[in-house]
Amino acid sequence: MDFLEQLNTVQREAVTCTEGASLIVAGAGSGKTRVLTYRIAYLLQQGVPASRIMALTFTNKAAREMKERIQKLVGEDARYLMMGTFHHVCTKLLRPEADKLGYTRDFTIYDTTDSKSVLKAICKERGLDEKIYKPGAVQARISMLKNSGISPSAYGANQQLLREDREVRLYEMATVYEQYQVRLRAANAMDFDDLLINTLVLMRTFPEVRARIQTQFQYVLVDEYQDTNYIQFLLVKTLAEPQNNICVVGDDAQSIYSFRGADIRNILNFRQQYPDAKLFKLERNYRSTQTIVNAANSLIHKNVHQIEKTVYSEKEQGQPLRLQPYMDDRTEALGVATAIQRQKHKGYDSFAVLYRTNAQSRVIENELRKLNIPYRIYGGTSFYQRKEIKDALGYLRLAVNPRDNEALLRIVGFPGRGIGETTMKKVSLNAIEHHKPYLDVMRRPDDTGLDVNAATAKKLQAFAAYMDGLNEQSETMDAYAFTEMVLRTSGVMTALALDRSQEGIDRAQNVQELLNAIREFVEQRVNEGVDYTPITDFLSEVSLQTDQDENLTDTSERVTLMTVHAAKGLEFPVVFIVGLEENLFPSQFAIKPSEVEEERRLLYVAITRAMEQCHLSFARQRFRNGTFNFASPSRFLNDIDRQYFEIQRPRNVETSTPRFTGIPVSREPEKPKTPVSNAQTPIASSWKEGDRVSHRVFGIGTVLRVYRDEVTENDKIEIRFDTQGTKTLLLTHAKLERF
């Protein structure tokens, strides 16, 4: 048990206290993954069989890395662990029992793109306005309902939810939800949320299945527990019964996914759910300097709803956080790019630029390109979301699940075989009318009276016969051999080879890379002692990829650009956090106190990504929604203790006298300074309260006050316009006239 010597006192206690319920509150950079990994390794060393341990994570990458670490500690026994994402584990539990719920074990897993496609078709058939029933928004709404445990029937009976729909003109949302579920079941398919819900339904409906699963898994561990939703809470609770040897690890201060259904109450109320639970607080940060950790603490302590802890660092004191005001967003982007250029000796991969919304990346990208600074957008298009890859996977999906209508619609026209959109529209309408899969109608068009000529009917039957042949072969060939055969006989590889453009060459190479991935998958399974790997196993693995599992395969040095949400779990020597303005960070949609607290947690996550330097910035004007808007500094700047700041001289300020000294503040905690604030100090001005003014855009208005903002040190004027409401303008740019 030498590895226990690598842990500090609290970590060691959290690892070795294995019986009963445990809550491990792991502050940012406190070695959470190590504790979770070592706890599992410790269980194995104590003689617990790997097959009796279940570990639930939020990314396949996290599960893979933990399993690799455990193997290094205790050997090959680790490969028998039930470890993976909620969706991955639920899929493994569901497939052998799928027939009990009316599915076959080869059911398809629909990703977000598939779900949107189904919803788009439903809305189109019902004649619904796509501008109102946007597929992405409708899919997100349904996902939120499922995560909250609300079925279509319960939704249709919930007057409050229906009233919310009417307010945004989604009058048929309940019907769309119901039809969506009907289509999924007809296609022998589940979406990501169904995997969790159906596992819960399986255990609740069939006590013998529940007892078998609960008996098999003696210990249940959950990573990132603060990100669990209601259904995941119920799943974990059910899986851990009746032994309740449950260990959850997380940090309430990093709960930032409520928009996905995450419920922070799961971790805040854990000890109410399990009164005898042991609490361990991992408070030592191994990642960041003392100043960064202290600044983050001073911010997050402003939240009311939290588990009290004080994270600390024993690393060097470090540099103060640098706060930089800019005139506008372009100047901000240029300032960030220039600062990176000045420190490029650190290596471009040392830098990350974090922003609240994806739209902010455009202007930053422009300035980085101008200075020839290489960069990557983290969370871009996944390899498995590229068209040519989804086309290839579509053949494999339909081969193993002939009821997968979405896969059929994707592949029937590629390569071209004389079956056009008009024909497929007839097929789909006919199939829906007769409650049949599309392939059934194509196989026997006369049985349902499909309105096509003899030549078209022959083409449909030929395609169906080809797919039926693939279905038979899929049951006897391993994943790699089967895929190679499908790509060759379907004409996919030939069609790609005929396109000699650079894009065509890239697509062909991508499909070849898919084959490489399948070969590696099969080889890995052989090394694990699995003799035969069907293509269904690979399809499950691919469909359960998360947005954080797509590795940055380009190993060349590049600056990383990403949203703060995407940055969770990562770390960089130097971090730039841009756009710290009201209505941007915090978001304009954060109205309730709980929503503001989540935005504050989001900034806490951003700051704690930094290891050595953290740069904060805001712009006085930002181009949003097609126009320049004046901005105020984020209220969160006032939440960070002033002693941890160094305020930089503002850039591109049209004034003869510099207003910022740029002098670093004291770094000694015992000498607190005045915190950064949005205080508004009255100033002498030619304008005064009550003056009537004219503005060339906003029209006529009345001056309410004239003041100086202490953070931006900019003179501002607040005016109530007769027709445009109250506006706050920069005095030097307002161009007002007396009225």
Strand 246-250 and strand 22-26: the pairing is: parallel
Q: Is the peptide bond before 586 cis (omega within 30 degrees of 0)?
A: yes
Q: Which of 609, 620, 622, 642 is catalytic?
A: 609
Is 726 a catalytic site residue? no
> Nearest 5 degrees, angle CA 722-CA 726-CA 727?
115
Task: Give the list of residues 6+ apart from residue 48 with CB closer than 8 angstroms, or none.
Answer: 218, 219
Q: Distance between CA 246 and CA 243 in Å, rounded?
A: 8
Residue 624: Cβ within 10 Å count: 17
Amino acid of residue 128: L
Q: Distance between CA 476 and CA 473 in Å, rounded?
A: 5
Tokens of 316: 């060097």
Report which DSSP code applies to 343: T
Is 254 a catalytic site residue? yes
Is 367 a catalytic site residue? no
Is 199 a catalytic site residue? no
Q: Which of 16, 18, 33, 175 is catalytic?
A: 33
Which has the closest alpha carbon to 194: 133, 109, 258, 126?
109
- Contacts for 479-485 with beta carbons within 8 Å, 24 or more apart? 479/518, 479/521, 479/522, 479/533, 479/534, 479/535, 479/537, 479/538, 480/515, 480/518, 480/519, 480/522, 482/396, 482/399, 482/535, 483/392, 483/396, 483/514, 483/515, 483/518, 483/535, 484/515
> Nearest 5 degrees, angle CA 102-CA 108-CA 114?
120
Q: Distance between CA 127 and CA 130 in Å, rounded?
A: 9
SS3 483: helix
- Give Cα 578 to chain centroid, integer Å: 20
Task: Give the list of residues 6+ apart from residue 544 with CB closer than 8 angstroms, or none.
Answer: 60, 84, 85, 87, 88, 91, 109, 192
Asked whether 634 and 580 are in contact (CB, 8 A), the reply is yes
Q: Which of 114, 172, 194, 223 is catalytic?
A: 223
SS3 188: coil
Asked whether 376 and 558 are in contact (CB, 8 A), the reply is yes
Q: Which of 254, 290, 536, 643 is catalytic?
A: 254
Is 223 a catalytic site residue? yes
- Give Cα 168 to chain centroid, integer Å: 26
Asked whether 333 and 615 are in contact (CB, 8 A), the reply is no
β partners of residue 718: 705, 728
Is 609 a catalytic site residue? yes
Task: Give the list of residues 6+ apart from residue 261 with CB closer than 8 angstroms, or none.
Answer: 143, 144, 147, 148, 229, 230
Helices and strands: H and E segment counts in the chain: 28, 24
Helix 593-607 to helix 290-300 angle, to the nearest 10 degrees? 180
Q: Which of 11, 32, 284, 291 is catalytic?
A: 32
Phi-psi region at 652: left, alpha or beta (left = phi > 0; alpha = psi -120 to 50) = left
Which has the closest alpha carbon to 273: 240, 308, 227?
240
The CA distances from residue 311 to 267, 279, 289, 295, 366, in Å, are 18, 16, 12, 11, 38
Tokens of 15: 């690892």
Residue 6, class by beta-carbon neighbours within 10 Å (0-12 exposed, 13-18 middle, 19+ buried)?
A: exposed
Report which DSSP code applies to 288: S
Q: Which of 191, 224, 599, 641 is catalytic?
A: 224
Residues known to be catalytic = 32-33, 223-224, 254, 609
